[in-house]
Structure formats: structure tokens, C-alpha cells
């Protein structure tokens, strides 16, 4: 029986300031999807509210807009998947071997406090399934508690988009909070690469995290290897 992956995407289309659009960082989905597809894994898309997923405009420009992202946008069937994502209450966590949180600054708004995503994540993690994220996707792990009331991330090694990278991307004044700092407040053992924007992946048991958009493929490869 093939392994099954639940890919988490955002429903949010802008920062607090509506004049600044954001959304899913497309290559963080397409790079992983491509890896999982090659391994024959079944894949489902879920979002905090269900339904349509906006795309981050900056992810659709050079150098981020690569072959896998272009191929996805050129495929009506694939684009339709982003219009019809499942809501968490339609998902039985027992059907999935791994959950993978994609990024884009939009997820900072709708991932952290989704009770439905927290339920799915906790259930998959506690039965030994893989919980994974890339870039801002780790915001989806910020407030997830285990059955004993402790934070899932407490005392665990992980990575995600660094504050230094926010500054270099010139969005440090737009984002609603400092995700790296918030992770550390919850007891996470945060790590990052020596240089910004290079691929960096951290594996701590069944928790797999990638630092930035360039880490999506390597993160997916680690997940596939564990499965």
C-alpha cells in the first residue's frame, strides 16, 4: 500500500496591509509534490478553511519560478487542486503517514491557531507518523500541543525561515511576528544554516523541517527516506 501525504497550504491572500499580497510559495509545494510523486505516494491538499489557495506573487518570478512551479501553473488539473482543498474537519489523520506544512508569509496568519490542523498534527505525531514543514510552514507547529499539554516543538531540534532572512527579504516590517523568536519561546531548539537562503534541513526523530524555499526538495527527500 502506498504511503499517504497530507500537504498543508494557506487560504490567506495578503498581509495585515491589504495592499501587500501574499499566499502559498508555490515551489515549496511543487518541489515536495514532485519528490513524493516519484515515490508513488498518494497526496492530498488541506487548508485551514478549505477551498481556494492564493499564490504568493514573489514565488512566480525569477529565480523562484522554476520548472516545477511553471508546470503546475500550466496544468489546469493541478491548479484545480488549489481551488478545492479540503478543510481539516474532512480529514481523518489515520489515513496519512505524514503531514507537510508548506510556506509563504500568508501561513503566519492562518496556520498557528487552526484547531483542526493542530488535531491532525498531534494525532499523526503521537502515533509515530512524520510531521514536517518548510520555511514559514513551521508556524503551523507553533501552538500545537501534545496530549500531555506540552508544545510539540518543546525540546526538539527544528528550523524554519530565519529572522535574518525576513530582514534580507525586506518584509520584517510587514510580518505579524518574529517566527524564529516565537519558536524559541516555546522551547524549540532552533537551528539555521551558516548562510541565509541556502538549503538546510533538520531531522529530529519524526519531526522534519526545512529552513527556506530552497530547502523544500531536500526536506521532501528526508521525509521520503523516513517513510
Residue 132 scores a pLDDT above 90: yes
CA atoms within a 13 Å half-sphere pointing along the CA-CB vector of 19: 0
- pLDDT of 1: 81
If you average pLDDT over residues 73-99, what whole number do you get?
98
- pLDDT of 180: 98
Q: How confident is the model at residue 69 (pLDDT cuts 50, 70, 90)?
A: very high
For residue 89, the tally of other CB atoms under 10 A from its CB is 10
Residue 143 scores a pLDDT above 90: yes
The string of pLDDT tens digits covering residues 145-163 is: 999 999 999 999 999 999 9
The string of pLDDT tens digits covering residues 164-210 is: 999 999 999 999 999 999 999 999 999 999 999 999 999 999 999 99
The string of pLDDT tens digits covering residues 39-53 is: 999 999 999 999 999
Tell me the pLDDT of the chain averaged across its residues: 97
Task: Record the pTM.
Answer: 0.98
- pLDDT of 101: 99
Amino acid at each position: 500500500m502506498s504511503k499517504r501525504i497530507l500537504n498543508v497550504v494557506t487560504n490567506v491572500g495578503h498581509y495585515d496591509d491589504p495592499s501587500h499580497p501574499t499566499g502559498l510559495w508555490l515551489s515549496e509545494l511543487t518541489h515536495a509534490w514532485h519528490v513524493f510523486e516519484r515515490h508513488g505516494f498518494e497526496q492530498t491538499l488541506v487548508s485551514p478553511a478549505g477551498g481556494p489557495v492564493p499564490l504568493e506573487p514573489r514565488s512566480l518570478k525569477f529565480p523562484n519560478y522554476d520548472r516545477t512551479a511553471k508546470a503546475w501553473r500550466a496544468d489546469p488539473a493541478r491548479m484545480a487542486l488549489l481551488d478545492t482543498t479540503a478543510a481539516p474537519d474532512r480529514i481523518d489523520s489515520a489515513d496519512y503517514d505524514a503531514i507537510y506544512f508548506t510556506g509563504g508569509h500568508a501561513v503566519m496568519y492562518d496556520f498557528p491557531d487552526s484547531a483542526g490542523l493542530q488535531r491532525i498534527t498531534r494525532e499523526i505525531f503521537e502515533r509515530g507518523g512524520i510531521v514536517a514543514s518548510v520555511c514559514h510552514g513551521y508556524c503551523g507547529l507553533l501552538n500545537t500541543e501534545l496530549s500531555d499539554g506540552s508544545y510539540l516543538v518543546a525540546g526538539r531540534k527544528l528550523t524554519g525561515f530565519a529572522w535574518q532572512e525576513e530582514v534580507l527579504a525586506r518584509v520584517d516590517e510587514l510580518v505579524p511576528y518574529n517566527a524564529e523568536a516565537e519558536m524559541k519561546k516555546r522551547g524549540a531548539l532552533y537551528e539555521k544554516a551558516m548562510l541565509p537562503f541556502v538549503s538546510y534541513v533538520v531531522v529530529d526523530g519524526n519531526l522534519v523541517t526545512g529552513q527556506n524555499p530552497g530547502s523544500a526538495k531536500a526536506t521532501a527527500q528526508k521525509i521520503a527516506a523516513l517513510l
